[in-house]
Structure formats: C-alpha cells, structure tokens
C-alpha cells in the first residue's frame, strides 16, 4: 500500500490489510481454505459463525463469499480494524460486528446469539497469555453447540525442535527482508498510514492506547491448544493444517 491510498475507500483498506498480513504469512489463504473446508465438512454450508478477534473481517469475507447462506458475527476490541470492517461490510446483511474485550469474563453477553455452529479465529489469540487463553477456551466450550467446531490458526511453535525452529525463523525473516526491499508494507508502516487517514486517525490512536505497539501474549504449541480445548469440554481436538511455524487446531464439541 502506498501513501496514495490514504483516504481511499474501505475496499482499499481491506486489501491493504490482507497484503500486510501476507507479508508475515505467505500461506495465509491456504489456512483459510482448510478452515472453511472443515467448516463445510463438520457443520455444513450454511453455518452461524462467530469470527473471534475478527480484525477487519478477513475470515467473514471469505466465509460469506464461499457460503451464500452463512451468517457471521465478528467480535473484536480494536476500534480501527472494526471501523474498516464496518465500512467494508456496510451493505452486507449477513454479518454484524460487536466490540468486546475477550479478557472480560462477561464478553459473551454482548453477542446476539448464545450458541454458534463454528467459532473461527486466525492470527489473533497470540495477544493473550496462556491463563487468559485457558479461560477463553472454557467459555468457548459452552458457546459452541454440540457437534459444532472451534478453529484457531496461529503461530504455534514446537519447543522440542529448537534447531528446526531456528533454521525456519532465519529463512522466514530473510524472505521477509527481500519482500520489504521490494516495497512490502510491514505492521508499523501500515499503522502509520492508518493514522494518516482522517477516518482512522482517532480509532488508531485509541487502539494503541489499548494495546500498545504489539502483542505481549504467549505462543504455546499446537499440542497445548488441543489439550486445553479437550479440558474445556471439546470431545476431540487436533491439528488439521500446519506450516513449519504455524498450525490450525480444530476442536469438535
């Protein structure tokens, strides 16, 4: 995204968020595809979905394009990303957005439904520490209907393979550096551009007051996620997709 995009429409902001995220996650679309494949396999093509820590609504966007009869509720605390989501989906009756803090024990009371066929999240819950995440998973154990699914795609390194992890990290950062040299916009630069848009300046200042510069949470292994989800009441949980550094864990109620 260049400076000429500042002040452009919500579609441009949605696209620029996708490009910025793809700089960090070149396999981002693949994890979304697997996520939606498993939604269709387990709960069918007309699900009621909670897009958890939804950001600009990236999951909802792909969900509604793939499943015309789907319904999505996006929940997030970030006022700037929610502003983009609400602007982008302004004419879409199948999606609505709720502002709530997932660390608030009463956040589910703000939702329009008490149960969901699927709760989906990607590249978001690493903002939480493990005890907060454990508490959140306990809440999801009651929010997902019987037979429903929860999926979390995020950075989930495997602590038992330090040499593999180090080699992968070096390779990944070298590839990012090359893309950056070719003009890719990183996280910090993207937020500078958001702050320069009159519609996003206020929400951007507010979101940095809430979050600070970046996550201070934890990144436990996929095995940890699966174990804690089973403890939270899910009948089955395992990895259904993985890259060298990230994983998609699915839990079936």
Question: What pLDDT, in 10s, does the model give residues 177-202?
Answer: 999 999 999 999 999 999 999 999 99
Rg (CA), the chain: 18
- pLDDT (tens digit per residue) in 25-76: 999 999 999 999 999 999 999 999 999 999 999 999 999 999 999 999 999 9
pLDDT over threshold 90, residue 14: yes
How confident is the model over 79-86, as a mean pLDDT? 97
Per-residue pLDDT at 20:
96
Residue 138: pLDDT band with limits 50, 70, 90 = very high
Task: Give the pLDDT confidence of 223-240 residue by residue, as tens digits.
Answer: 999 999 999 999 999 999
- Quote the pLDDT of residue 42: 98
In the predicted model, what is the mean pLDDT of residues 132-141?
97
How far lies 64's CA from each of 79, 82, 112, in Å? Answer: 22, 17, 18
Q: What is the pTM of this model?
A: 0.94
Q: What pLDDT is recorded for position 48?
A: 98
Q: In degrees rounded to 5, what are phi and psi of residue 151?
A: -135, 135
SS3 annotation, the chain: CCHHHCCCCHHHHHHHHHHHHHHHCCCHHHHHHHHHHHHHHHHCCCCEEEEECCCCCHHHHHHHHHCCCCEEEEEECCHHHHHHHHHHCCCCCCEEEEECCCCCCCHHHHCCCCCEEEEEEECCHHHCCHHHHHHHHHHHHHHEEEEEEEEEEEECCCCCCHHHHHHHHHHHHHHHHHHHHCCCCCHHHHHHHHHHCHHHHHHHHHHHHHHCCCCCCCCCCHHHHHHHHHHCCCCEEEEEEECCCEEEEEEEC
- Residues above pLDDT 90, as percent of the chain: 94
CA 170 to chain centre: 24
Average pLDDT rounded to a whole number, residues 129-145: 97
CA dist 79 and 171 (Å) reads 34
The pLDDT value recorded for residue 66 is 98
Predicted pLDDT at 212: 84
């Amino acid at each position: 995204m260049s400076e000429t995009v500042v002040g452009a429409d919500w579609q441009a902001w949605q696209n620029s968020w996708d490009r910025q995220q793809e700089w960090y996650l070149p396999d981002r679309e693949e994890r979304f595809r697997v996520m939606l494949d498993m939604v269709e396999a387990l709960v069918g093509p007309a699900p009621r979905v909670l897009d958890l820590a939804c950001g600009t609504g990236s999951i909802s966007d792909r969900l509604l394009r793939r499943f015309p009869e789907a319904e999505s509720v996006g929940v997030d605390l970030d006022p700037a990303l929610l502003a983009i989501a609400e602007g982008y989906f302004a004419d879409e009756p199948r999606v609505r957005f709720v502002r709530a803090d997932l660390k608030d024990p009463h956040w589910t009371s703000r939702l329009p439904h008490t149960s969901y066929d699927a709760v989906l999240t990607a590249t978001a819950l690493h903002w939480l520490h493990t005890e907060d995440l454990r508490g959140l998973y306990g809440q999801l154990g009651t929010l997902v209907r019987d037979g429903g699914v929860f999926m979390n795609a995020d950075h989930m390194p495997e602590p038992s393979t330090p040499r593999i992890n180090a080699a992968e990290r070096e390779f990944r950062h070298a590839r990012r550096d090359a893309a950056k040299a070719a003009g890719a916009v990183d996280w910090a630069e993207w937020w500078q551009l958001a702050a320069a848009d009159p519609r996003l300046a206020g929400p951007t200042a507010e979101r940095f007051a809430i979050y600070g510069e970046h996550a201070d949470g934890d990144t436990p292994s996929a095995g940890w996620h699966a174990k804690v989800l089973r403890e939270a009441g899910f009948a089955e949980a395992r990895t259904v997709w993985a890259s060298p550094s990230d994983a998609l864990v699915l839990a079936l109620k």
